[in-house]
Amino acid sequence: MPRAKPRSARKPAGARRGRRVLRVLALAIAGGAFVAGFAAAGYFLSLDGSVRARFDGRRFAVPSKVFSTPAILYPGLDWKLVDLRGTLARLGFREAASPGHLEPGEYTWGASRARVHLQAFEHPTRSEPARDVVLRLEGPLIQEIRELPSGRELGAVLLEPEPIGAFYGVDREQRELVKLEQLPPHLVDAILAVEDQRFEAHRGIDLRRIAGALVANLRAGAVRQGGSTVTQQLVKNFFLTPERTLRRKFQEAAMALVVEARYDKHEILEAYLNEIYLGQRGPTAIHGVGEAAHVFFGKSARELDIAESALLAAVIHSPNGLSPYREPERAVRRRNLVLEMMEEQGRLGAEARAKAEAEPLRLAAVTPDPGDARYFLDLLRRQLSDVYDASVLETDGLRIYSTLDRRAQRLAAIALREGLADLEKRFPRLRSEQPARALQGCLVALRPQTGELLALVGGRDYATSQFDRCTQARRQTGSAFKPFVYAAALEPLNGAPSITLANLLDDSPLEISTPSGPWRPENYDKRSHGMVTVRQAIEGSLNIATARLARDVGARRVADVARRAGIQSPLPIVPSLALGVASVAPIEIARAYATFASGGIRPELQSIEDLVDEQGRTLERRKLRFERVIDAGTAYLVTSLLEGVAERGTAAALHSTGLRGPIAAKTGTTDREQDLWLVGYTPELVVVVWIGFDEPRSLKIPSAVGALPIWRRFVQDMTGGQIRGRFPKPAGVEEIEIDPVTRSLALADCPDRQSEYFLAGTQPTSICGEAGSGEQPAGDGVAERPPGREPGGGGEFFRWLKRQL
Amino acid sequence: MSVARRLAIGSVAIALCAGCAGRTSFFAPAPVVPLRLHEIAGEGDAARRASQRLVLQGLASDAKGQTRLARTSYERALQVDVNNPFAYLALARQAVESGDGASALEYLEQAELLLGAEDLRSPRVEPHLAGLRGAALRARGEQRAASELLARASDLAPSVWDDGQLSAAELR
């Protein structure tokens, strides 16, 4: 039987306690480690969730970009008029010093020869290759275009569409996504050389790099390298705030480990190259090498050379402090440092480095923020929001090719802004210290046959007021509505028109009963002019004669013509409709006049050519659409009347101040001169100018003084003063000589003759000199003798008209 | 009536019948050589010439089956010269080919207006105008009116319109 162990042989009580403590400690540590491990696992799982949510979903918000219609160059074009050099600068072209080898995006300019290496334009259906072309210049004209090196003569070449804006989200980030495999290897090498030379080797964090960076920076006495890997920088930009705390740094490292564990290097690097911040352009942040290549060098990232790639890599360190625009010398020093590091790391040969270091800084010209197209961009956004969510427009990177003519838009903005400033200078009472009460205006220009919107300026300053007065405002049109009255009267109804241009109209005082009491229209000069010809009535914008004509024709019929022409706003069927009492948007008036300009064929408004998604698929394609709504003859007669307004009438200042060629125009001044309009067209352009205050008050000037100079300047700048083409006279219109006195047919023996246009079969039947010659009135306001030959009648009228002019 | 006289009358009648044998009707108009647009590529001012070159480019693309590219060329032609009737004619031809009779008629309306206004509506354009209008109406299911116009086009330019259609190459 064993004996009990002597007391001294047993372990002392202290040791037993120590073991117990150790056991408890071990258990506590194990428990703590378990809990910590569990917590860490949970933490990493949560990080993994965040990382996957971002990486597996849509990684980048890419704002949809809007482009103008491309400029077209062709022999015979006035390159000065179209501001070709300015256009090249805005497109980011660089002027090369020597005419030797030109890269895409470079040009040279001489006295008689310009050479432009056009950049490739990518589009699903109408891509254009990069091509080197020579323009032979003679004075302001392009005489010939030849392609190099073949020497082939070209009939026309297209410049790429100009970017005019984008639909940003709240962060205003601009980027163009690139694929890693599309980028030149030297760009990736340059970035990795300076940002993360062991990128392929590490697992998200690089302790050697941190130590190396510390040593390198100490040796250099400056921060040459950062300690963060590309993965850490990506994580920081993607998920974290920019604060510099240990906690955030830890989070960054942990997330970098998760990203590296979850995704391959290719994906990480591609995401980084698309995410990295590279500076500001105005309020817009430039992200990614794709966008930066366009902003800095005016070219695609895939076309960057070694020096340009090194510059982009250099800028990453401090995008604003090393901006090549603001700090060119610092940027070049940093670029050369990148090149040096590339050579040290075996990514670049010595010769290539020396060559790249010798490259001067060649940057794309800084193009001003195209703020003057923002009303147009807003219109596009409103139109597109019917089909696409705002979030799609802000994040899905659509490419919207618009109809906007960049040059027309710029000239329109200048004409309106300076025109309003001139008016305020001439009439100081129009000035207001409060921007919200400032004199306002809008200008819209269309191509009449196709309805393409070429320019839209909805106000004098977008920054002050984003309300678009061309498309969102409804204002009374005043006399600018009268052409619809004349169209209604000249249009054959049941075979015969109410009037012809041989008729006379009665401009004597008129009173029309209305439910709200008698209505007595007055002329602008507060006088009546007796019997006047149709031309005199519209050229002098006579209210009484027009109101009487509208009464005879019927307000309903006038409204019908206006609607058919393109007015969509409600039109009250009241006698005063004839004098423009209806409130209408300027863009509606533009479209309705376009119907006259294109011979009675109403165009559908077009603002988009096509819309392409990020993958290069065409989502929308415009279709030119028109519809005949007024017969060609009637439309031509109205155009002819409006040509008279521009030649002799209230808009005669258009021609007298130097515009040559066909113009049809109508002034419009509403009651108390609260709205001033000039609506006019040439064979290729419809332009509407409206001037007024947002809270209507009198300007105390007529439209010929307020709106006309702006219209004139815009058309002058667009055309160089020589308007091309002519208004097409349709087959159903005849030009016939009539006696200006009796308004009857004038044969060779008639003492006075003048040409007039008639729809076939509606010309006068009586012959001058015959008993009873002269047209019969078509209504009680239409008579047969012109005022000019009546004592105190037309003579007075002409004197009045002269005073107006 | 003498035998010689009878023979003479008979010969004239036979000759007349022979002459008319290839026509669809006795009163059919005399054939013309239909207009091809390359013939007038050098006419007009600088903008019109450039516009015409773009129309011809478009027709070349159309002939290769690149219809979207072709349409862009026609639209660019209008950008340079919005009053070029031949750009509308080319658009009408393309619309007919794609079976869009309504659009074709709209383009034809513009083309006819502008051709008339510029005194360009020569007899050589007539077969195309008649034929395209006929083909557009046919596409819209208006067979009777379509047949008459297509027959007229065929009478005017049998070499082109005998098959009831105008290819891009035939217009080019």
Nearest of A253, A211, A213 to residue A232 by alpha carbon: A253
- Rounded Cα distance between A664 and A525, Å, is 23
- Distance from C-alpha of A233 to C-alpha of A221, rounded to nearest angstrom: 23
Partner-chain contact B83 A449, CB within 8 Å:
yes
**Residue A9 scores a pLDDT above 70:** no
Statement: residue A362 has pLDDT above 90: no
Contact state of A625 with B116 under an 8 Å Cβ cutoff:
no
DSSP result, A722-756: B--S-PPPPTTEEEEEE-TTT-SB--TT-S--EEE
* Residue A257 scores a pLDDT above 70: yes
pLDDT at A1 over 50: no
Verdict on whether the full-model pTM lies above 0.90: no
Q: What is the mean pLDDT of residues B81-109?
A: 95
Is residue A339 in a domain? yes
Question: Residue A76: what pLDDT?
Answer: 94
Band of residue B27 on the pLDDT scale cut at 50, 70, 90: low
- pLDDT of A789 above 80: no
B residues 55-114 lying closer than 8 A (beta carbon) to A: 57, 68-69, 72, 75-76, 78-80, 82-83, 91, 103, 106-107, 109-110, 113-114
pLDDT of A82-141, one tens digit each?
Answer: 989 988 988 888 888 777 888 888 899 998 999 999 988 888 878 888 999 999 999 999
Residue A630, domain member (yes or no): yes
* Confidence check: pLDDT of A314 > 50: yes
Q: Is the peptide bond before A149 cis (omega within 30 degrees of 0)?
A: yes
Note the pLDDT of residue A749.
81
User: pLDDT tens digit string along A697-746?
Assistant: 999 999 999 999 999 999 999 999 999 988 988 888 999 999 988 888 98
**Pair (A548, A623) in one structural domain:** yes
Task: Let me know whether A676 and A536 are in one domain.
Answer: yes
Whether A596 and A711 share a structural domain? yes
Q: What is the pLDDT of residue B26?
A: 52
CA angle at B38 for the pair B32 and B40, rounded to the nearest 5°: 75
Residues of chain A with pLDDT > 70, as a percent, come to: 92
pLDDT for res A555:
96
Q: C-alpha distances in angstroms, B105 versus A72, A166, B112, B131, B137?
A: 28, 37, 10, 12, 8
pLDDT at A798: 47
What pLDDT, on a 0 to 100 scale, did the predictor assign at position A678? 98
Residue listed under structure tokens 């195309």: B128
CA–CA separation, A694 and A214 (whole Å): 63
CATH number, domain of A554, equals 3.40.710.10
Residue at A653: amino acid letter: A
Q: Do A69 and B79 touch (CB under 8 A)?
A: yes
Per-residue pLDDT at A320 exceeds 90:
no
| Cβ distance of B113 and A75 shorter than 8 Å | no
Enclosing domain of residue A100: 65-166
Q: Which two tokens stand for residue B85?
A: 């009737």
Mean per-residue pLDDT of chain A: 88
Residues A231 and A143 in one domain: no
**Mean pLDDT of the residues in chain B:** 86
> Do both A96 and A128 map to the same domain?
yes
For the sheet containing A782-783, what is the strand order? A530-533, A504-507, A782-783
Burial of A209 from C-beta contacts in 10 A (0-12 / 13-18 / 19+): buried
Residues A128 and A182 in one domain: no
Asked if residue A433 is part of any domain, the answer here is no
Identify which of B49, B72, B110 has the shortest CB distance to residue A449: B110
Cβ–Cβ of B49/A75 closer than 8 Å?
yes
Query: Which stretch of A479-488, A627-636, A672-681, B31-40 has the lowest confidence by average pLDDT?
Result: B31-40
Helix, strand or coil for residue A16? Answer: helix
Q: What's residue A28's pLDDT?
A: 84
B1 min Cα distance to partner chain A (Å): 51
Reported as a pLDDT band with limits 50, 70 and 90, residue A794 is very low
> What pLDDT score does A4 carry?
52
In chain A, residues 63-82 whose CB comes closer than 8 Å to chain B: 69-70, 72, 74-77
What dihedral do alpha carbons A374, A375, A381, A383 form, nearest 10°? Answer: -150
pLDDT value for A412: 96
CATH of the domain at A89: 3.30.2060.10
- pLDDT bin (cut points 50, 70, 90) of residue A10 is low
pLDDT for A212 equals 77
pLDDT at residue A425 tops 70: yes
Instruction: Inform me whether the C-beta atom of residue A626 falls under 8 Å from chain B C-beta atoms.
Output: yes
Q: Three-state DSSP class for A180?
A: helix
Within-domain flag for A11: no
Interface test with A, best of B78, B79, B89, B126 (most A CBs within 10 A): B79
B-chain residues near A725 (CB < 8 A): 83
Q: Which of B113, B126, B172 to mutate to test the interface with A (most CBs of A within 10 A)?
A: B113
Q: Which of the four pLDDT bands, split at 50, 70 and 90, describes residue A45?
A: confident
Confidence of residue A443 (pLDDT cuts 50, 70, 90): very high
What is the per-residue pLDDT for A562?
98
Among A115, A144, A166, identify where a domain stops: A166
Q: Which chain A residues are Cβ-neighbours of B68 within 8 angstroms?
A: 125-126, 621
Other residues' Cβ atoms within 10 Å of the Cβ of residue B45: 12
Q: Which residues of B touch A683 (CB under 8 A)?
A: 82-83
Tell whether A234 is covered by a domain: yes
- Give the confidence band of A11 by pLDDT, cuts at 50, 70, 90: low
- B45 contact residues in A (CB cutoff 8 A): 76, 724
Query: Judging by DSSP bridges, how do beta strands A106-109 and A94-95 pair with one another?
Result: parallel
Interchain contact, A156 vs B80, CB within 8 Å: yes
Is A296 in the same domain as A222?
yes
What is the rounded CA–CA span in Å between residue A215 and residue B107?
Answer: 74
Q: Is residue B130 within 8 angstroms of chain A, CB to CB?
A: no
- Which residues in chain B are contacts of A449 at CB distance < 8 A? 78, 82-83, 110
Write down the pLDDT at residue A776. Answer: 45
Using a CB-CB cut-off of 8 Å, the residues of chain A touching B117 are 599, 726-730
Residues 6+ apart with CB under 8 A from A629: A564, A565, A566, A595, A600, A601, A602
Q: How many CB atoms lie within 10 A of CB A533?
A: 25
Asked whether residue A701 is domain-assigned, the answer is yes
Judgement on whether residues A180 and A308 belong to the same structural domain of the protein: yes
Q: How many CB atoms lie within 10 A of CB A9?
A: 7
Q: Are A730 and B106 a contacting pair at CB < 8 A? A: no
pLDDT digits (tens, 9 = 90+) for B125-162: 999 999 999 999 999 999 999 999 999 999 999 988 98
Least confident range of A59-63, A510-514, A583-587, B101-105: A59-63
Q: Round to the nearest angstrom and report the end-to-end CA distance of chain B.
A: 56
Nearest-CB residue to A126 (from B46, B69, B106): B69
**DSSP single-letter state for residue A153:** B
Q: What pLDDT score was predicted for residue A705?
A: 96
Virtual torsion, Cα A586, A679, B84, A623, nearest 10 deg: 10
Judge contact between B37 and B86, C-beta under 8 A: yes
Beta carbons within 10 angstroms of residue B121's beta carbon = 18
ipTM: 0.81
Contact flag A447-B82 (C-beta cutoff 8 Å) = yes
Binary contact (A625, B47; C-beta < 8 A): no
Residues 6+ apart with CB under 8 A from A657: A712
The three-state DSSP-derived secondary structure of A90-146 is: HCCCEECCCCCCCCCCEEEECCCEEEEEECCECCCCCCECCEEEEEEEECCEEEEEE
Query: pLDDT: is B100 or A783 the higher one?
Result: B100
Same domain, A688 and A597: yes
Confidence of residue A236 (pLDDT cuts 50, 70, 90): confident
What distance in Å separates the CA atoms of residue B102 and residue A317, rounded to the nearest whole number?
A: 60
Contact A628/B109, CB-based, under 8 Å? yes
Lowest-pLDDT range of A196-210, A564-578, B148-162: A196-210
Token readout for A562 is: 């206006």
Q: Minimal Cα–Cα distance from A425 to chain B, Å?
A: 37
Handedness of CA A19, A25, A30, A31 (dihedral sign): positive
Domain termination site, one of A325, A358, A391: A358
**Alpha carbon distance A708, A685 (integer Å):** 16
Whether A74 and B80 lie within 8 Å, measured CB to CB: yes
Digit-coded pLDDT (tens) for A158-189 = 999 998 888 987 777 778 888 899 899 999 99
Asked if A104 and A162 sit in the same domain, the reply is yes
Q: Are residues A178 and A162 in the same domain?
A: no
Calculate mean pLDDT across residues B71-98: 95
Measured between CA atoms, how close is A644 to chain B, in angstroms? 20
Distance from CA of B73 to the nearest CA of A (A): 9
* Average pLDDT over every residue of A609-624: 90
Q: Which residues have CB under 8 Å from A672's CB, separation 6+?
A: A698
Going by C-alpha positions, the residue among B149, B120, B122 that lies closest to residue B135 is: B149
Contact A482, A622 (CB under 8 A): no
Grade residue B28 by pLDDT with cuts at 50, 70 and 90. low
Residue A31 resides in a domain:
no
Cβ-proximal residues to A678 (8 Å cutoff; 6+ apart), any chain: A651, A665, A666, A667, A668, A687, A688, A689, A703, A704, A707, A708, A710, A711
Residue A787 or B139, more confident: B139
Q: How many separate domains does chain A show?
A: 4
Question: Chain A closest CA to B98's CA: distance in Å?
Answer: 13
**Which pLDDT score, from 0 to 100, does residue A174 have?**
79
Instruction: Return d(Cα A74, Cα A329) in angstroms, integer.
Output: 41
Best mutation target, A68, A79, A126, to test chain B (most B CBs within 10 A): A126
First to last CA, chain A: 142
d(C-alpha A290, C-alpha A309), whole Å? 11
Residue A409 lies in a domain: no
A126-142 pLDDT, tens digit per residue, is: 888 899 999 999 999 99
CB contact under 8 A, A74 and B49: yes
* In a shared domain, residues A89 and A196: no
- Asked if A730's CB is within 8 angstroms of B50's CB, the reply is no
Which among B49, B64, B75, B80 is the top mutation candidate for probing chain A, defined by the most A β-carbons within 10 Å of its own β-carbon? B75
Beta-bridge mates of residue A626: A603
Beta bridge partners of A498: none
Contact between residue A311 and residue A296 where contact means Cβ atoms under 8 Å apart: yes
pLDDT for A771 equals 57
pLDDT score of A363 more than 90: no
User: What pLDDT does residue A417 have?
Assistant: 94
